[in-house]
Chain A
Amino acid sequence: MVDSKQQWKAWLYLAPAIVLLLVFTVWPIINTVRMSLLENYSGLQATAGAQFQFGLGNFLKVVRYRQFTQCLKNTCILCFLTVPISTILALLIAVALNSIKFLQKGLQTIFFLPYVTNSIAIGMVFAAMFNIVGSFYGTENELIVTAGIINNVIEFFGGTHINWINYGSSYAANIFVMVVYIVWNALPFKILVLLGGLQGINKQYYEAAKVDGTPRRRVFTKITVPLLSPMLAYVVITGFIGGFKEYTSIVGIFGETMGPPDAAKRLNTMVGFIYDSLSSNSQGRASAAALILFAIILVVTLINNQVSKKRVHY
């Protein structure tokens, strides 16, 4: 314990951090709660001196929006598809990387590239890959020329091209492209964490397993995965938190229309909904949506924690 006479010094040293936290974290959170509880709160009108009633109207409004239901659905679908897929892929890649010596550093760098690349830029590249040139902004009757590399490959093997993201594309195709993109984007961080975890596992466990003639699959499921479980829990929890805040990736591929030209906003997400509310000057509604998103993430994280209590070996 610090001597009580010296305590003011401790507070002095903490002051810069505390002030910044109060201004940029604590106050905004309090303000968000306040705005969400004021009926139809709008920043513009508030500045003009308008008074707002206290109530839960913002929350009701948000929940009743059809757009909100769509956003929630999109977010959940993307989250529950991409987090397991990317975690499993990252685990397999990390284990494979860890077991080779030749080219390990080089491959590690390549796998890490998406992490240091702007996700909008990556999105545009993906959009080009899944593209069918000639109809992106066009109409139904426009001549369609296959140009995206994915469709070229499909046609090379004798398949018919698929309208992934262009005018008239299906919701399933859109979601498929998003899943591929988000998984690819999420891999490097997960590989890095899991590879670090793998390299921290004592090699003698593997030697002991070898002496006992343990088959490879059993070594993986009974030794590697349990010993890696703290890292796995970490990437899954952060993966879900990140997944519920998905937004940039959609913009990266579809632009601000958040969907193909004929179905704008079809792929909008929770964060997208919040931004939309803000841009229409409905801070009350945006705050309510933000708190709902917060509650969802909290519940999912609590569930994750409960599961990991049983499954994770620290």
Chain B
Amino acid sequence: MVRKILVVDDEVGFTKLLKMNLEKTGQYEVRVENESTKALTTAHEFLPDIVLLDIVMPGMDGGDVAAQMQDDPMLRNIPVIMMTALVSQEETSQDAVAQAGAMNILPKPVNLEVLLRCLEEAFASEAGE
């Protein structure tokens, strides 16, 4: 079963390569949204199984996107994994992640192996619920 992943990140090159890598596994269909303000619309349209969300983005940051997803009955239950290239502890603390309703946080550069494992765990826990 092919799972649908929505990647929201303003880094065009990074998202392009992330999509290539994930789709290469044959297990995922990936949609990229480089403009965070359009993230919710795209999410409604695409209805992903999981969202990969960057934190620092112009317009709306990852925290805002996650919070709006929480307020949206259609999107509330979609698991979110956050990604960040931030280095300071406070900005990447687990509290902040929990506050944003995200289930995990991955530091950039993202290790593909770790990301794939993270995705598997997410789907496994979802299946287990």
- Bound together: no
